[in-house]
Structures are given as C-alpha cells and as structure tokens.
Structure 1
C-alpha cells in the first residue's frame, strides 16, 4: 500500500509508490519527546458517481476496511516521516513537537491500475501547539476513475476476436476482454480507448485508437459503449460514453483505405521490447538504447514513463513527443534523454538516462512505453523498455589509518561496478553534520577491488565515515587517526626551551610542527613561538635550574601511545653580571693640576706667564673595563688635557640609584708635541690658549665586561672581551641618554651583546646583536634582543659593550672615523656622549 505525497508538503504526486509495509516504523520517528498528541480518526466513504449521475455505495469493489488503511505522518518542517501499515497500529499516545504535520491515509497505491484495485486516499494538515491534543478526521474516498467497456451484440456478432485497451496518461495499458464486465480502476485524467480487432473476412489484425475519454474524474464511474454500424455497406465502429461525458460519439469507418493503411512501426536498438534489462545503478551506457519511428503521418507519439525517481525530478509520466514544450524537453534532456530528428525519423535515445536510474528497495522497475498513432489512427502494440536497476553493494575490505596532519586516507572496497567516479561520495561526521571528503583518486587493484583515496578533514579525532553511492549509504565505518612518526630534540634555556621536530618523513616537518602540543613533566607547556617550516617550537613558562621530562603529541585527546619518546633536560640558571647598576665604583686615576692647553700671554706683551690646569679624580664601575688606560694615559710624553682625557667615568646623573656611567668620544696622543705659546691678539683677550695641537688619535668611550690593557710605548691595546657565562639570556636591557658630536650629528651610541659557545670544537659567537642608540636628552629604555640560530649549543662566555660612537674599531680605524670637535676653552677634543644606567639581562 502507498500514499500520495501532498503538494502542501512540497512533494510530487505522480506515480510514486511508498509502500507502508516496508517503510520506517514508528520506532524510527524522532518526535517522541514532544508534548502534543495527534489522534487520526479514519473512516471510509465508498460512494461513487454512477452512470446516471446518482451517488451509489455499491459500485466500488473491493471496499477496504479501516484496518486495511495505512497511515503516514510527516513533519512539514523537517521532512521526517513515520508510517504504519494499518491505522490500528498507530499508538494514540505518540507525542509530537509543536508544528505543522501532514497526515495521510491510503488503501492501494497511485500506480497500480486494473481490475479490483481501487485507490482510496485522504489527507489533512494539522498545526499542533504545545500541549494540544487534536483529533484528525480523515475520510478516505475513491481516488481512481472507474471505466467499464460494453460491446454491443452487433459488434460481438461481427468480430470473432476483439478487445479494448484502456490507457490513462502516464498509466499502464489495461486490456479489456470481451467477457469482462468489471470496471477498470485508472488514473484520473484523459483516457484513450484503443481497439484490437481481427477482421472476419481476411483475418487481418487491426489496432487503432477509437476514442478518448476527456478529463475523467476520481470517484466517477464511466461506461464506454462500443457498437457497429454500416456506412454505405462499410462497417463502422462507434464509441459512445454515458451522459456525464460531454463529447461526441467517435466513428471509425473500416474502409478498404483504412484497412490497407499502415500503422507506425517502432524500432528498438540495444534491447528487446518486453524483456527487462538489468542495469547496475549509476553506470553509464557504452552502447545505444533507443526507440525510433518514421515521423511521416504521425498523429501522436506518446511516451509513458513509470519511474518514481525520474518523475520526482520533473519528468512527465505521460507526454506526446510531437508536442513537447521547450521546458518539458529541457527537463528530460537534463535527465539524459535525447530526442533526435533526422531524415524523417524520430529517435528517442535513453542511453543517457540509464546512468541516472537508482535502485530503491521495494520500488518497481523503470518502464518506458512508446505508442505511435498514425494520422489514420492506426497503431501497433506499444513498445516497452523496462530497466531493472541493480544495487551497487560496496563492501569495505580494508581501511588505512589517517595520519593526523597528512589527512589522506585509503579504503579498499569490493564493488560490482568499475564506474565509481561519478557516483561515489564519502562523508565525514564533523561538528554534528555530515561534510564531504573529496575522493581524489579511484584505482583498480584487481577485478572487483578498488582503492578509494580521499582527503580527510583536519583534526586528530577518529572520523565517522559514510560511503555513499548514487546518494544512498553503502557503508559506515570509523577511521582511526594516528600520529605521524617523529622524535624531538630539546634545547633548554633558563625559562624556555626550543623543541626541534625530527620527522621520519621530512616533508611532514611543517605539518607536525604546526600541530604539536608539548608537555613537561606531564603538564601541557605554553608554546610562545612556532617556526613550522624549520620544525622549531619555543615553549615558555619553565623554571630555571629544574629537571624536565619533555615529550609531545599532535593529538588533541592523546593516549600514552600518541606521545613521542620523552627527552630529559635541565634548564639553565637565570644568571646576571655584576654591578649592572654601577653603584659599586673604584678609583681609576687621580691627577692634580694637569696642564690644560699651552701657555698664553695676558695681553699683547709676549710674556707667557699664564697656564690653565684641570684636576681629575676619575671613578669607574667595579667589574667593568674601560678604555681609559689608552685615552687618559699618564705615561704620555706630554701630560696635557689635549692628549690625556678620560673616555669613561662614573657620574651622579643617574636614572636610578646614585651613579651612572658616562662615555665620551675623545682625542688622545701618548706622543703629543709641545704646544706653542699663545700671544693674545690686540683687543681680543682670552683666558686660555687658542693654539690647538695636532692630536694623533681619536677614540670612542667604551665600557665592557672583561679586561683591557694598553702599552703606551708601542700603542698596542689588548681586549680580553667577555666573562665566563653558562646561560643564554634573551636580551640586554637598560637606560641611556645620548648626545651626538656637534661635528657629526649622524653618529650613534652603541649597545653590543655577544654570547659565545662551543660549536664543532671551536668557540664561536652563537648570538650577537648590536643596537644603535638614537639621540635622547632624557633617560630612555632600550632592549638588545638575542637569538640563537645554533640549536643545542650552550653558552660559555658573555660579552657586553657600550660605546659612545658607532664608528668604534681599532686605534687606526677610530682615529679616522670617530667624530670629535676641539674645545679650546678646556683644551680637549670631545665628541659624542653616552650615559648608561641599570644594565640587566632578561630570559
């Protein structure tokens, strides 16, 4: 038994069989959690309109009982439906969510035509509100048209062999034999009456369309009377209908011309009419399957189709090929039908339709019937092309694990067809919905075995998977996710560590790195930087001088087997250097009354009895080195401030605390020449000598960790740059002021940090950053960041240097490049000045 689907519910009603007995049960229906109740009240109205127009309840046979009525309830919002073979099986306590529901009851189905097969149907739309209990009256009425054929005595006595064929649009051909008196139950609408006769004299078999019953109504009984008369001695067939039918009697004169006329002949290619063709669903045809007929003298060419699937897509169940509209042609063409007109021959090619046919459990086969009627109304028996779709049952033979991050999988299936490409689909259940997994390759492994290669969705959880073919689920399985193979190496710093991914397949370096989750001593660690291309992660939040067991996984919910082997490390110490605030100081040198410039006269009288002097008490920070032994060398041949000038000293202009360091670029010369006496010019007297000697050298003021020595006799200097250091800081921080030389405002102060380590048995610089300090009149914070490109190379030495000029270098280089200007008032060559305070390391 089956139900029509209502237009209200948005379904197509044409030749659709939905047998209640094989549909889903009420246990499958997902409305039990609702709060409304629906009570169908089914009754039968067996009345029909008789020939004389009266209403009778004795015409229909058989009349179903309520027990024989099936029931179907459809949620009009979700499309979910439930069916019961008998309305008596319906549980009256079944609860529903509020909303609109389409309720149907039926006996028989809309496809079956013939004798003793009436189709009863009723439907209603119900709007359920929360807590409602609604009775739904359903009065099932006859939905078929009843047609009875009566042959007159004169007709019976003239023809020894005859029958009629009743054909509704889109329906089957029902043969009505002479001894039949029961009504045929047919689809409402236009119904043709064809006669199959054997002529008494010649024995010739004649088939023709004798009449048409227009617009037959459901629940109506019609009688077609077939009679015989003579027209000038020539027999004529007359078909008349009862008085309800407003149409003239149909006459067919059986003249010699009519009898000698030909009926259109339909030719079949690729199949035999009446012999079912088994077809694997989704397969494309490699040969032609078609019907062809000469188009001359055709009155109609009717294609009748029995196919639930095609008709649901807009294909008309009954159509005259000669009178197709462009829209109808387009629908059928989109479903694969080709109609060709060449050399007065019409060919209907079904080859492209075959790939669109689908197997449906319990559904009838697909049947195409073509009937050609000539302009003389002669016809031959219809030609039928019956296709029985066979299911493609896919059996999963094996399935590979999906490597997380790679997200590609392979499933081996056993299939009766090799034409999987166009119809196979794989779905994954992700985020409470099914999403497609693209199948990028299907490879034949052996007869009947195929490898499906597909792209899996991102993630690390197992993938619930469906394999679909022609829109139907063929298999469901769980695909396991596994981790790609890799190990890690760990380079531990003080408060962080660098994790290096070592994959078995180097092509997966970036994939693994981007997914990796790192654990230390069983707890997840914070990833603060990722260089996926090179397989590097930086993890933070570690404690210094601590043992860690570090492992990693790419899985979101890992088990023990999802982790790589652990690496045991010990973090470095958070080390600093001494006296970065410069509060601890020591005297570098002291000099009382150093000559400052040459002698000069008081006036124009050449008596050179004036000599300026400056005294020095210079302090420098403990644990730091400066270049004062060079720029303020007390072993100089000529002790004069033009030649002897400190380039580094403690000052009280500090950012914090009591002291800071001031570095200044200066001129110096251990072999300075004697300075000529200065005679004052007339009228322009100064309190200092204006003679500027030739100063051999210039130097940037420098402060650094380590030791420094200078030999004034050969002017050789030695830097023991740096201190022993076993940690790797991330930056040097501090505060500075800087005023560039008036002779070159482009000069900059310098903060330089280097970290050394042993690499390939050699001590090399493993981190170096030089920061140029721009002019700043007030103390300004600065940071010198450090990075370590050599993985796993530990620190052995730390170098920190501050310089008053970015042109620092050797004595020769500085003497040329470091900018200074002569200050005759204090008798010194001075350049850029840098103040520094509160130096520290960060990790």
Structure 2
C-alpha cells in the first residue's frame, strides 16, 4: 500500500449505533382516566449526524432501519441526534421523542455509540367528572402553550402534547338554563416527560349553592381551588385570596446562598369577581437597591408607568401571569428571583414582599406576605423531628462550618418575641462533618407548632427558622 493511501486510511474509522427508548411519562395528578399515545418503533426514528458543536449536518438517515450495522466515517468528534415526530406547540396524541450523544471516531477503530430517546414534550389531559357533566349543558376547555390553542370539547378524551413551559387555560360553560360562564384559571408550569391531568368537578358549598372545583397540578391536587357558581340566592362570591406553593403566609422561607436546587415558590391568586388590581411591594432596602421600584407595583395595570415597572421586576427574575386584569386566577412566581436576591457574608438577610389583590367588585384579600431569607452557607438549622403531645423536649440538628459551638444559643418564638431555650443535653458532634445535635427545652406545643432558631455570638448571626410540630 502506498504512503498516501495509508494516511487516508489512518484518517478514517467506524462507528456502530445502538438506540434505546424510554417512553416513561410521569403522571403528576390523580385521575380515573388515562389515555396513551401509540409507541413508535425504534426503526422509525430519524438519525442525524452533526459536527461536534451541532452546527453542521454531516449525514442524515430518515429511518434508523436504513442505516447499516457499521458506519464508515472520517476521524473526529461528532454529535448524533435521533428523534421521532415533530416538535410542536400543541397537538393531540402526537408525542415527540428525541435523544442525543457525543462521540469520537478514531483511525482504524470502531466506536460503539449509544443514545436513549425520551419524550421531549408535555402531556396534558382534561378529565370532566360525572357531577360536572350533569350540572352543565355544554362545556369546553381551551389550552395553549406558545402557539395556537387546542379545544378540549365535552366529548374529547384524547391527550394533548405541548412544548414544556407555561400552558394557559380558558374554560367555557353553559348551564342547563342557558346561562353562559367563563373562567380563566392560572397557567400551569409543565416539564417534559410528565403528564398533567386537569380534573374538573362541581360540589355543594353548604350554603345552597354550587362550587366549581379545579385541581390541575401537584400543589392543588389535595387542596383544590373552588369558585362559587352564580344562580343561587345564597351563592356569594368570596373576596380574593391566595394559595401559596412552597411557603406559608408570613412565615420565613430560608434558602442557602448560591443554591441551584430551589423548589418552586409561587402564589396563586384567586379572585372570583375578576382581578381589578394585583399589587406587589417590598420593604427590603436591599431588594430596592437591585432597581426594584419603590412602592406598590400593579401587575394588572396597563398604563405606561406600570408596564415599565412590570418589565423591570420580570428582568429581576419575578414572573407572573400576563394580562391578568379580569381573570379569576393568576400566578406570581418567585422561583427565579430567589437565587438573585441580595446576600451578605456576615449576616442572613430577610426580604419581605406584600401582595394585595382587589377584585372588580372592590373586595380585597387579607394581608398576605412572602418572607424570603437568604441564609449564608454553613450555618443552618435542619427540620426537627416531630415530638409527642405534651412533650417539652426536642432534638435538633444543625450545621456550623465556621466558628465555635460554645457561641450557639437556641431560641423559641412566643407572642412575637424570641426567648432563650435551655439545653437539656450539651451540643454533640455527629459522624457527619460540621453537623451537630442537641436537645432543647421548649414550652408545650400549640396546635400551630413552635418556631425555633439558633443565635450565634449574642445575635451576630441567626440561623433559619424551623417549626417543631406534634406527631400526627
């Protein structure tokens, strides 16, 4: 063989592809019905070969079955993609699957390439319960992600597939007497590979009227949203209220500075009379230094000044349902804002936000506050174990990476005042680095539990708050 031909062979190699599939879809809500789209054959998947960065298509096979067992290729780094179906903004029973893998081809060698294809969009179903079907003459639900809406009619049983992200909803109802109603629940946040089932029902409200009941995600599955339906002399609209996810009204929610695995933190606004204004404000000077506008910001307003302020706080990471004026439901999402909140290397900072909602009839919600504490890493109190009724001793564990345990004191909250707790047993090291345990004395618990925290060096720093509760 000539030298030139040897060099050419050295610059070529082979690769073999194995495609696996994982068609698992995690169901996020409970339902008595379940629909399943047809599962494709691996042989029907499209296979595309790109350069290492994925910017240039090198070769394409319309079907995996069209590929030979071994592919001859130049040496180098490559990106392989395989998929089935079309990535769309919304379609019935049309899932989209995809997978990718990077690999290298070396001269005179055969590379084994493995890729797993998984569902890459969100599955959504609407489940009309029997009581709901009997109460209304006609009904339908429109849903949309980033594209055209899909209509779930009264007879629709198929599941729809959307791009992951926010999915909006609009419910149109016709009562037996012909009265027409419409409701716009807040959009739901969806993830790829998960199935969200929206359960819609009615129930008696105990005052002679009927409630519309909507349960559409994990946060409301066990605490469904109810809306009083008109048509009864005793049916009275409730004033606006707020359902929190990931926190409690007025209670401190602590997070570690720099944490990236923050659970969703959001507030669902419910206004049966339609949202007229939804104002958010903060008294945190540190947050205002981020360029957060001073004073209340009306998220439902459409004047130029309000729209400008709305965009400012969106850019800071705070998200909310757009064009919420007149809607019965809207979502305020703090999740992306939390990692960007101001921090301090010496002390933990607390940032309080206030939410005030007024409906179109002039009713306003009770005072609602979101209290977020940016906690320095290395000094935190873990969730205590529940204790028996009547007990005044609690075992706690905490982390202290820097400093002396001799400077640690425990405190409990009583009528808004923090008081010192005695240590029943001295602080001890555990077998985990920087983790300590001890037993403290607290007053007999109330039904709401007992808030506690740790104090370092006479108040130089405080830990996050935790709540000790009774054994259920």
Shorter-chain TM-score tier: 0.3 to 0.5
Q: TM-score, normalised by structure 1?
A: 0.27
Larger radius of gyration: 1
1 or 2 for the larger relative contact order (CA 8 Å, sep ≥6)? 2
